[in-house]
Amino acid sequence: MVLEFASSPRSSVGLEWELALVDADSGTLRQVAPAAMAALAGDPRATHVKPEFLRNTLEVVSGVCTTVGQATADLASGVAAIQDVITPMRAELMGAGTHPFAHWSQQRVTDKERYATVVDRTQVWGRQQVVYGVHVHVGIEDRAKVLPIVRSLLVYVAHLQALSASSPFWEAADTGYASMRALLFQQLPTAGLPYQFGQWHELERYVDDMLRTGVIDDFTEVRWDVRPAPHFGTVEVRICDGTSNLHELAALGALVHCLVEHLSTLLDEGRPLPTMPRWYVHENKWRAARYGLDAIIILDEAGNEELVTDATARLLDDLAPVAERLGCATELDAVRDILRLGASYQRQRAVAAAHGGGQPALEAVVASLVAELRAGRPLAPTS
C-alpha cells in the first residue's frame, strides 16, 4: 500500500492531554464525559476538547502551533471550558498516568464503534486501559526524515518516561513502579515501542500486513510510544504519563519539540543520529518505568550507563540553543524543576505517606492532583 505523509510546517507543534474526571468529594472516577461534551456544545473553546476511550476521560488538544507556549495556552482554554461545565456536576479534572484507587471493571467505555472493537478484541487487557497520557506532535517537512528521527527519539524514551512518571498506584496499591501506565498500555497488540524501520516502504509493508490480517482498520490504531502520524505530517511522541499540571506539561512538550528539531538539524548537516539496539531501548523503558528519576539508563549502543537525572541535565545544556530558536527556552528550563523538586510519582507517594496509608491516603493523593491541575504547577505535599 501507499502510506501518504501529509505536508506539515517544520517543527510546528501540537499537544494532547488526557484528563480524568473525578468526584469533587470522594475523588472516585466519574462517568460524566458525555454530559460534559453536551454542555460544551456551542462553546468556541470546545474545539480544544474531545471525548476519549472511557467515559471518565476527556482529552484537551491544541491547534497547530509554532511554539509550546501557544499550544499550552490552547490547553488552558480547553481546561477552563471543561471546568466551567463540570463544577456544577460536583466533578473535577485530575492529571496522572493512572487513578490511584479506581477499579477498571467499574469503568464504562465511550459509545463509539472503534472503542467497542478494541474491547471486543483485547478483552481484559483492553478493559484495563484506565490510563492517561500526554502526546506531543512535531511537524516534519520531509518524509525522508521521519523514520530516522523516530529511531533516534528512542534513545530518549527513558528520559521522558522518568520525568513524566505519575502512576505509582493501581487499584489502591503501590505497585513499586514509577509508571504503572507504561506497562499496562504496552499490553495492547499494536502498542509499546515501535519497530525500527529503515525505509518508508518497510512501514508501508507493515501497515499493509496489519490491514490485510485485520489487526487494524487504519493507521491510527498503531499506538506506538513514538510513531509517525502521516495524516498530520508529524512525528508523535506518546511515551509520557499524564501530567498533573500545565507547568510540567509545557516542560515535557518543549523537551520533545527541541529534540525533534535538533535531530532534524543533524540530518540537514549530514551528521549521524544517535541510535540504540532494540534490546537496550526496551531495557531503558523498563528501568525508567520501574525506578523513575532514580533509574540508571543505557546511553548508547556501546552500553555506557548514567543516572537519568545526570543524563537529562547534560541534554538540557545541549538543547538550550535549539530552545532559543524555537521560542521555548523558559519551558525547556522548567525540566530542571522536575529534576530538582521531583516527579509526580514522588509527590504522590509523599502525600500518601503523610496521610498514613489506606483509602483516606489515596483520596488525599487524588485531592493533591486536582489541586495541582487547578494551580497549574506542582505543589509541595502537605499533611
Q: Over its length of 383 residues, how does the chain's per-residue pLDDT go in tens digits?
A: 899 999 999 999 999 999 999 999 999 999 999 999 999 999 999 999 999 878 899 999 999 999 999 999 999 999 999 999 999 999 999 999 999 999 877 767 766 766 667 767 767 766 666 899 999 999 999 999 999 999 999 999 999 999 999 999 999 999 999 999 999 999 888 999 999 999 999 999 999 999 999 999 999 999 999 999 999 999 999 999 999 999 999 999 999 999 999 999 999 999 999 999 999 999 999 999 999 999 999 999 999 999 999 999 999 999 999 999 999 999 999 999 999 999 999 999 999 999 998 999 999 999 999 999 999 999 988 76
- CA-based nearest residue to 24, from 79, 88, 81: 88
Q: Is residue 327 part of a domain?
A: yes
Q: Is residue 5 part of a domain?
A: no
Looking at residue 194, its amino acid is: P
Q: Which three cell numbers stand for residue 358?
A: 489506606
Helices (H) and strands (E) in the chain, counts: 15, 13
Instruction: Give pTM, 2 decimals.
Output: 0.96
CA distance 320 to 235: 21
Q: Which domain holds residue 17?
A: 12-375
Torsion angle of the four alpha carbons 311, 316, 317, 319, in this order, in degrees rounded to the nearest 10: 120
| Nearby residues of 310 by Cβ (< 8 Å), 6 or more positions away | none
CA distance 85 to 340: 36
Q: Is residue 4 part of a domain?
A: no
- CA-based nearest residue to 161, from 54, 356, 292: 292
Q: Is residue 286 part of a domain?
A: yes
Contact 179, 292 (CB under 8 A): yes
Q: Is residue 3 part of a domain?
A: no
Q: Is residue 382 part of a domain?
A: no
Q: Is residue 1 part of a domain?
A: no
Contact 22, 3 (CB under 8 A): no
CA distance 320 to 328: 9
CA distance 154 to 262: 14
Contact 175, 96 (CB under 8 A): no
Query: How many domains does the chain divide into?
Result: 1
Q: Using the structure block, give the residue that is written with the C-alpha cell 462517568.
A: 31
| Nearby residues of 225 by Cβ (< 8 Å), 6 or more positions away | 157, 186, 191, 192, 193, 194, 237, 238, 239, 285
CA distance 75 to 142: 28
Taking the mean position of all CA atoms in its chain, how far away is CA 276? 22
Q: Is residue 381 part of a domain?
A: no
CATH number for the domain spanning 315: value is: 3.30.590.20
